[in-house]
Structure 1
Amino acid sequence: MGIRSSNCDRYRSLIVALQEQNKQVFLVSGGFHCLIAPVAAELNIPPENICANKLKFYFTGEYAGFDEKEPTSQSGGKAEVIRLLKEKRGFKTIVHIGDGATDLEACPPANAFIGYGGNIIRESVKARAPWFITDFKDLEEAL
């Protein structure tokens, strides 16, 4: 889901509630790590819990592309990240929250998907999500 630094407050409360229950929170994005890392830091999400594309530059400073080895640089990348989290970290249950088609595609291997429309409501996500929210307070109340 697209998280903008100026909107961190709407996410912070849910993340704190999850972390208080010893749940790990990850940011999985097709966006760029260098843009997501400051937001993750503001939300107290450790850098190792960011799964996003990394930019590459030549020694001259010119843009050289992105790291094609990152799962999120490929089609189906979010599902691959979730599969790897289960495999490498031993997670049994992963709940994925997102606002786009690539988020829907990640369930399975995610055990559950929650559609989010707080930034933008995509009708295809809303129609196919087993649970669709526009405010994280709904999730906090369910915890």
Structure 2
Amino acid sequence: MSACKRVRLAEMLEDVFAVLKRVDAVCFDVDSTVIREEGIDELAKFCGKGAEVANLTSQAMSGSMTFQEALDLRLNIIKPSLAQVKDFIKISPPTLTPGVKKLIELLHSRNIPVYLISGGFRSIIVPIADQLKIPHSHIFANRLKFYFTGEYAGFDENEPTSKSGGKGVVIQQLKAKHSFRNLILIGDGATDLEAAPPADAFIGYGGNIIRPTVKAKAKWFVTDFNEIYNVLVNLNNI
């Protein structure tokens, strides 16, 4: 690595650390970040549509189609019933990524609010938030709709998270409402990367899956939540 490139990398890290020192809110992506799985892929497998949906998820995360297009296509393949969603949550609960609980506990101990902003489904994310002691009001995600018979009826297209750029919209709303000035977003995908700005800093996460575009463009890219935890604990020494 050239000296010029090393200097540039150091400057990018300093940019993120400067925000981290004054952080007043942290937003996490959920799928492949807070949890190890991609929730929609796992739901698809549970409903017998796994292979068809996984490829579309990869395209959505790489930014090769709009998020709303990918969400609509995937859900129309799965067509999950209310009963299937309930059974999925009960039988196949998602797995927390190692280190994320400890990191969020540290943030909470410092009275730093934590938000979950996801292109996944609120009904699946609520139990995750409960494990992490994150208020339900701090969840921003998509809502599935069902007919009175329990059959799939679509998703709420009014949710910002159902569209490309939706995470940025949520972050703008949070900053306007709470006057956050040093908000950090942590995530693995293109929809996370594009939300900074308005997020004041972005940390790319690759502990579950590495998205090459995110790794290349993130000012700070980590594969272990302990990296962030250790920096937070030792900020005064940086």
The code of the aligned residue for 1:108 comes to P
Q: TM-score, normalised by structure 2?
A: 0.58
The code of the aligned residue for 1:120 comes to I
For residue 184 of structure 2, what is the aligned residue in structure 1? 95
For residue 61 of structure 2, what is the aligned residue in structure 1? none
| Aligned residue runs from structure 1 range 120-139, under 5 A | 120-139=209-228
Identical columns (%): 58
For residue 28 of structure 1, what is the aligned residue in structure 2? 117
How far does residue 6 in structure 1 lie from its aligned partner after superposition? 2.1
- Provide structure 2 residue ranges, at least 5 long, that are not aligned to the other structure: 1-28, 37-93, 233-238
How far does residue 37 in structure 1 lie from its aligned partner after superposition? 0.8
The code of the aligned residue for 1:51 comes to F
- Provide structure 1 residue ranges, at least 5 long, that are not aligned to the other structure: none
SS in 2 for 1:30: strand
For residue 39 of structure 1, what is the aligned residue in structure 2? 128
Which structure shows the bigger proportion of residues in strand conformation?
1
How far does residue 7 in structure 1 lie from its aligned partner after superposition? 2.4
For residue 70 of structure 1, what is the aligned residue in structure 2? 159
* Counterpart check, 1:113 vs 2:202: yes
What is the alpha-carbon distance in structure 2 between the residues aligned to residue 134 and residue 108 of structure 1? 22
What is the alpha-carbon distance in structure 1 between the residues aligned to residue 99 and residue 229 of structure 2? 11
CA RMSD between the two structures: 1.1
RCO higher in 1 or 2 (8 Å CA, sep ≥ 6)?
A: 2
Instruction: Indicate if the aligned counterparts of 1:8 and 1:43 stay in contact, CA closer than 8 A.
Output: no
What is the alpha-carbon distance in structure 1 between the residues aligned to residue 209 and residue 170 of structure 2? 24
For residue 147 of structure 2, what is the aligned residue in structure 1? 58
Aligned length: 143
List per-residue Cα deviations over 1:62-116 (Å, max 9, x = no partner). 1111111110011100000100101122222210000000000000000000000
Which of structures 1 and 2 has the bigger CA Rg? 2
Which structure shows the bigger proportion of residues in helix conformation?
2
